């Protein structure tokens, strides 16, 4: 009896030791040695890297990326698709000393006589703006009201003459938009020409429906506008403006030819620049 009692008295100690052993085992599992943890992390890292490599090299991923890039390029209509005769630096048809020649002076004076001029016809500085209604850079210049801000800054000193420069190979709908602007000018003269022009730049898509709706929104005579647009009567006029780029050395859109009529000096500001660039050029011209 006494011996049995002795064994029973140690029963609690055995249970306690077993419990401690279990707890230590759990602790070791949960709180692994840092070296062990590091090795396991390396293993997981290698496995993850392998998975990434497999993903990036898969045909499905490549096709997805190709589609994304193609969509992006289509959305911005990258200018590298310009025809060879336009995708080049400005030509040397202008005098090397930065002065337009007599033929260009005569052409500019003729344009001033028969074309829509924004603000003072006799202003010293003229911005001859060649632009495309669908070109993203042209849209940027329009949406930022760049030229309008310049005109506001120099009342009576600077005027603007917009010239249609639709790049049909890049933007097949642009020529029809240019003709619509000319029709608006016919019905509302210079003021309506520029009002319709700026509104047309904001169109998401240039097509007959949108061009006609725009004329309606601006209270133009619908019958006369549609008849004008449908007839194509201004196609030759638009083509003639597009042909001017060789003479004036404009090969980019927007191409802003800033001309000082006091000495016939010029500077070409190609692509969409902020107002500060125009101000820099004009201040220099006014100081000459």
| Residues, the chain | 288
Kindly provide the residue ranges of all beta strands, DSSP E only, lying in 108-245, ordered along the sequence. 125-131, 158-164
Q: What is the mean pLDDT of residues 251-260?
A: 88
> Of 81-85, 155-159, 188-192, which one has max mean pLDDT?
155-159
Domain range holding 13? 2-71
Eight-class DSSP state of 99: B
Among candidate residues 71, 86, 111, the one where a domain is terminated: 71
Please indicate, yes or no, whether residues 137 and 34 belong to a single structural domain of this protein. Answer: no
Residue 107 pLDDT level (bands cut at 50, 70, 90): confident
Does residue 95 lie within any of the structural domains? no
Please indicate, yes or no, whether residues 26 and 121 belong to a single structural domain of this protein. Answer: no
Kindly provide the residue ranges of all beta strands, DSSP E only, lying in 145-218, ordered along the sequence. 158-164
Please indicate, yes or no, whether residues 25 and 167 belong to a single structural domain of this protein. Answer: no
Does residue 10 lie within any of the structural domains? yes
What is the full DSSP assignment across 237-266?
HHHHHHTTHHHHT--SSSEEEEEETTTTEE
Please indicate, yes or no, whether residues 38 and 161 belong to a single structural domain of this protein. Answer: no
Quote the pTM value: 0.65
Q: Is the pLDDT of residue 199 over 70?
A: yes
Among candidate residues 48, 71, 94, the one where a domain is terminated: 71
The model's pLDDT over 17-59, given as tens digits with 9 standing for 90+, comes to: 555 555 555 444 445 455 555 555 545 545 544 544 554 455 5
Does residue 271 lie within any of the structural domains? yes
**39 phi and psi, to 5 degrees?**
-65, -40
Is 270 in contact with 79 (CB distance < 8 Å)? no
Please indicate, yes or no, whether residues 19 and 159 belong to a single structural domain of this protein. Answer: no
Please indicate, yes or no, whether residues 169 and 107 belong to a single structural domain of this protein. Answer: yes
The CA distance from 177 to 206, in Å, is: 6
pLDDT of residue 14: 52
Please indicate, yes or no, whether residues 61 and 136 belong to a single structural domain of this protein. Answer: no
The model's pLDDT over 130-164, given as tens digits with 9 standing for 90+, comes to: 999 999 999 999 999 999 999 999 999 999 999 99
Instruction: Please state the domain count of the chain.
Output: 2
Q: List the Cα angle 91/93/95 in 5-degree steps.
A: 115
Please indicate, yes or no, whether residues 50 and 130 belong to a single structural domain of this protein. Answer: no
Does residue 260 lie within any of the structural domains? yes
* Angle, helix 222-231 to helix 208-217, in steps of 10 degrees: 150
pLDDT of residue 66: 44
The CA distance from 259 to 107, in Å, is: 13
Residues whose CB is less than 8 angstroms from the CB of residue 211 and which lie 6 or more positions away in sequence, other chains included? 176, 177, 180, 200, 203, 229
Does residue 154 lie within any of the structural domains? yes
Does residue 29 lie within any of the structural domains? yes
Does residue 187 lie within any of the structural domains? no
Please indicate, yes or no, whether residues 173 and 265 belong to a single structural domain of this protein. Answer: yes
Please indicate, yes or no, whether residues 164 and 241 belong to a single structural domain of this protein. Answer: yes
Please indicate, yes or no, whether residues 260 and 153 belong to a single structural domain of this protein. Answer: yes
Does residue 258 lie within any of the structural domains? yes
Q: What is the CATH number of the domain that holds 249?
A: 3.40.30.10
Please indicate, yes or no, whether residues 61 and 107 belong to a single structural domain of this protein. Answer: no
């Amino acid at each position: 009896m006494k011996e049995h009692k002795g064994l029973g008295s140690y029963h609690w100690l055995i249970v306690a030791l077993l419990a401690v052993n279990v707890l230590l085992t759990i602790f070791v599992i949960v709180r692994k040695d840092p070296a062990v943890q590091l090795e396991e992390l390396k293993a997981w890292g290698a496995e993850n890297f392998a998975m990434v490599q497999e993903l990036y090299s898969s045909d499905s991923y490549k096709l997805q990326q190709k589609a994304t890039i193609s969509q992006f390029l289509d959305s911005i209509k990258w200018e590298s698709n310009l025809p060879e005769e336009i995708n080049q630096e400005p030509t040397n048809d202008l005098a090397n000393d930065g002065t337009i020649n007599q033929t260009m002076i005569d052409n500019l004076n003729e344009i001033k006589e028969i074309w829509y001029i924004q603000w003072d016809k006799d202003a010293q500085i003229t911005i001859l703006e060649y632009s495309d209604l669908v070109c993203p850079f042209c849209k940027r210049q329009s949406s930022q009201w760049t030229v309008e801000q310049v005109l506001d800054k120099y009342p009576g000193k600077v005027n603007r003459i917009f010239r249609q420069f639709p790049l049909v190979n890049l933007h097949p709908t642009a020529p029809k938009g240019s003709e619509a602007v000319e029709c608006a000018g016919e019905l509302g003269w210079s003021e309506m020409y520029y009002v319709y022009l700026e509104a047309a730049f904001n169109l998401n898509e240039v097509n007959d429906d949108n061009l006609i709706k725009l004329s309606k929104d601006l209270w133009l005579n619908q019958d006369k506008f549609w008849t004008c647009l449908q007839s194509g009567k201004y196609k030759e006029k638009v083509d003639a403006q597009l042909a001017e780029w060789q003479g004036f050395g404009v090969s980019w859109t927007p191409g802003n030819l800033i001309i000082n009529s006091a000495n016939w000096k010029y500077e070409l500001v190609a692509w969409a620049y902020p107002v500060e660039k125009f101000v820099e050029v004009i201040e220099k011209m006014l100081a000459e």
